[in-house]
Amino acid sequence: MPFDIDMLKAHYESLPARVNAAKQALGRPLTLTEKILYAHLHADSPMQSYARGKDYVFFAPDRVAMQDATAQMALLQFMMCGRDKTAVPSTVHCDHLILAKEGANTDLKTAVDVNSEVYDFLSSVSNKYGIGFWKPGAGIIHQTVLENYAFPGGMMIGTDSHTPNAGGLGMLAIGVGGADAVDVMVGMAWELKMPKLIGVKLTGKLSGWTSPKDVILKVAGILTVKGGTGAIVEYFGDGAQSMSCTGKGTICNMGAEIGATTSTFGYDESMSRYFRATERHDVADLCDSVKEYLTGDDECYANPEKYFDQVIEIDLNTLEPHVNGPYTPDLAWPISEFAKAVRENGYPQKLEVGLIGSCTNSSYEDLDRAASIARQAKSKKLVAKAEFTITPGSEQIRYTVNRDGQLATFEEIGGVVMANACGPCIGQWSRHTDDPTRANSIITSFNRNFSKRNDGNPQTRSFVASPEIVTAFAIAGDLTFNPLTDTLINEDGQAVMLDPPSGVELPAKGFAVEDAGYLAPAADSSKVVISVSPSSNRLQLLTPFTPITNDQVQGMRILIKAKGKCTTDHISMAGPWLEFRGHLQNISKNTFISAVNYFNGEVNQVLNLVTNTYMAVPDSGLAYRDASISTVVFGEENYGEGSSREHAAMQPRFLGVKAVVVKSFARIHETNLKKQGALALTFANPEDYEKIRQDDSIDIQGFDSMAPGKSITMVLNHSDGTAESIELLHTYNEQQIEWLRAGSALNKIRQEMGV
């Protein structure tokens, strides 16, 4: 299929030398995470010891994966850089834009129809620039990556938070924003703060109702949604080796729920088995030849406290199945305590829908174990009391479980098979309900369960569990049911119990698929034309930003002085705006619409000094831009936290904002602003934020002589004729100042490429 085995050969040939150089530089044994990180240092970061949680380091990832929602802006930017091909192997996966409503076939047809323009764009750009394209229906990005591209010891970035799923095959796979994907695809270094290390030692063996999902549900309960922030989680121990490779993928996938940068496991037999089952004997053989470099050193696992910043131990022999939620994935309930929690907290006891599958849990093993429960229901004369849906992770999985009968088993108890896509997991779910605002409970084998995520109803209590536990709950239709201990009454009025699930890790007859849904890029793409209609509502070719000049930073007006929290969601709202991710002009209509205006405490009402009226923020921005008046944005602490999406930097730039001045930045957003050629500045004295008045005319002094480490002066010309000067700081290095002078990082690359 599309994997470049020669690239892997070359990678593994040089791996021992790179790992040994790292060992020498650090003077000690290495964890797997360190081996991968140090083996992927970019030429801009010399081989030396870097301080975890402190030093920013440049890396050279091996590949990039993008899902269809985030790929649009990433590729629109990439197209401008003048390269013929991406610098590293890259793929696009059409999984986010398919609405789950009636079932796989109908929903897929509708999606292809509704999104044809976006799909055509993504496929033609992929075709032109050497990017592998996975059509709608081919599957969910992370499952496809696991089946085709992930390899032990590799490093990849993906424009989706659950990219870490590939850690199930021993990769460091990290979720990023589109701007990072552009960097790597154009061949720039990719920057990351050297992560801290959390070691999770797994002992014992899973049995009965307990599955790999329960490991991560337990870890989420221990570490909470913030506990993994800035850290990579490395699993080890005999318990890790006893688990399937796809189970490891589930654990790594949901590492995103504890905020971890990524999670990973060392190479072992389970990975070799998976490679061989997915027809990648050559990859397995190569891995075997360098296996000591694809796992942590024994000493690190024997004395983990010495090598990890934090160590957690979990005994799989005693681990109970868990149900986590509602509203947050770290609210972890062992199954034995869940019924009580439901009653005491007043969660709606009746279960309305059970949903299995998704990128998190649709391996052959997952679906086979869940099917064993459904099969019992049939033989014990039970039917699913709740609605029950199945979302296969890929066409290969769907085809195989269709061939082997698991899908038919689900359908026999009332299950509905959805398209191989994200669907309800991302809220792309047209849920059948008589009252979309009613308080109700659902349970999924997905990863996230924040309010409104699945069906948009804030009254829906969404719980997360393993596919086998979800299937049992769907049959019972009751959240107080404990499948390990309780009986159900069947059609004949008899009390029956469900036996623990059983299933195989990999299909006995191997995986099969007729059309996996992959389109290889053209060998000669010189004749491929990318057409974007100028009248399109959803896509718009980008026009390079023009460089900011000294004249433009004189006499500026305030677009908004944001009060309190101003996250990337406040700057560029998510939800329904997903549709416009490929259209800068249209998505800019959401700029700052949920940020609070300091001067009146209101949302989306700012004074515009051209019209002297209060206006919506995007309208005010356009009014200033049309009048050739530059604007400034002011903010408070940790401005731009949240997502790494570049829209939050591009939109203000599009509206004519020249400078963003805040008490402090979330670092990724600060870098994104620099990449888009805007001024990202901080108050030397945070109290100066208070000095900014609504009708100030603002000048920046010393713009042309801006240099690393040198502060800048901002003059606030008040309407009463007085003026105040305040000192501003910045963190631009030489290269970033070049981006500023060029108008953006991409413009700089364009200059270098002679575009």
Interface positions with ligand F3S (CB under 6 A): 95, 140-142, 160, 162, 358-359, 422, 425-426, 446-447
The two most distant CA atoms of the chain are separated, in Å, by 89
Is residue 448 among the annotated active site residues? yes
Instruction: Point out which residues pair with 417 in neighbouring strands.
Output: 390
Is residue 160 among the annotated active site residues? yes
Residue of 126, 630, 643, 744 marked active site: 643
CB of 226 to ligand F3S, least distance (A): 19
CB of 135 to ligand F3S, least distance (A): 16
Using the minimum distance from each CB to ligand F3S, give the nearer residue, 64 or 596: 64
Is residue 630 among the annotated active site residues? no
Look up residue 713 and give its two tokens.
């002066």
CB of 468 to ligand F3S, least distance (A): 19
Instruction: Point out which residues pair with 260 in neighbouring strands.
Output: 229
Strand (E) or helix (H) holding 173: strand 172-175
Euclidean distance between CA atoms 360 and 152, whole angstroms: 19
- Within 10 Å of residue 433's Cβ, how many Cβ atoms? 15
CB of 95 to ligand F3S, least distance (A): 6
Using the minimum distance from each CB to ligand F3S, give the nearer residue, 33 or 420: 420
Using the minimum distance from each CB to ligand F3S, give the nearer residue, 575 or 601: 575
Euclidean distance between CA atoms 475 and 666, whole angstroms: 46
Transcribe 366-414 into DSSP letters. HHHHHHHHHHHHHHTT---SSEEEEE-SBHHHHHHHHHTTHHHHHHHTT
Which position has the token pair 């004295």? 685
Residues 25-36: b if buried by 16+ CB within 10 A, e if exposed: eeeebbbbbbbb
CB of 325 to ligand F3S, least distance (A): 15
Using the minimum distance from each CB to ligand F3S, give the nearer residue, 446 or 599: 446
Residues 6 or more apart whose CB falls under 8 angstroms from that of 212 comprise 206, 243, 244, 247, 248, 250, 251, 466
Instruction: Point out which residues pair with 174 in neighbouring strands.
Output: 157
Is residue 619 among the annotated active site residues? no
Using the minimum distance from each CB to ligand F3S, give the nearer residue, 254 or 277: 254
Look up residue 584 and give its two tokens.
């800068």
Q: Are the CB atoms for 264 and 296 separated by under 8 Å?
A: no
Euclidean distance between CA atoms 540 and 669, whole angstroms: 23
Residue of 40, 62, 68, 95 marked active site: 95
Euclidean distance between CA atoms 173 and 169, whole angstroms: 10
Residue of 322, 431, 645, 669 marked active site: 645
Euclidean distance between CA atoms 441 and 477, whole angstroms: 10
CB of 441 to ligand F3S, least distance (A): 20
CB of 191 to ligand F3S, least distance (A): 24
Using the minimum distance from each CB to ligand F3S, give the nearer residue, 420 or 736: 420
Lay out the sheet containing 231-236: strands in order across: 262-265, 231-236, 196-203, 310-315
CB of 253 to ligand F3S, least distance (A): 7
Is residue 95 among the annotated active site residues? yes
Reduce the secondary structure of 297-352 to three states and give it as a string.
Answer: CHHHHHCHHHHCCEEEEEECCCCCCEEECCCCCCCEEEHHHHHHHHHHHCCCCEEE
Using the minimum distance from each CB to ligand F3S, give the nearer residue, 95 or 404: 95
Using the minimum distance from each CB to ligand F3S, give the nearer residue, 426 or 692: 426
Look up residue 174 and give its two tokens.
């990290």
Residue of 62, 68, 107, 160 marked active site: 160
Using the minimum distance from each CB to ligand F3S, give the nearer residue, 164 or 640: 164
CB of 392 to ligand F3S, least distance (A): 11
CB of 444 to ligand F3S, least distance (A): 10
- Phi then psi dihedrals of residue 402, to 5 deg: -70, -45
Using the minimum distance from each CB to ligand F3S, give the nearer residue, 162 or 748: 162
Euclidean distance between CA atoms 689 and 698, whole angstroms: 13
Residue of 40, 52, 96, 669 marked active site: 96
Look up residue 212 and give its two tokens.
């790999």
Rg, Å, the chain Cα set = 26
Is residue 123 among the annotated active site residues? no
- Phi then psi dihedrals of residue 388, to 5 deg: -145, 120
- Within 10 Å of residue 281's Cβ, how many Cβ atoms? 12
**Residues recognised as catalytic:** 95-96, 160, 448, 643, 645
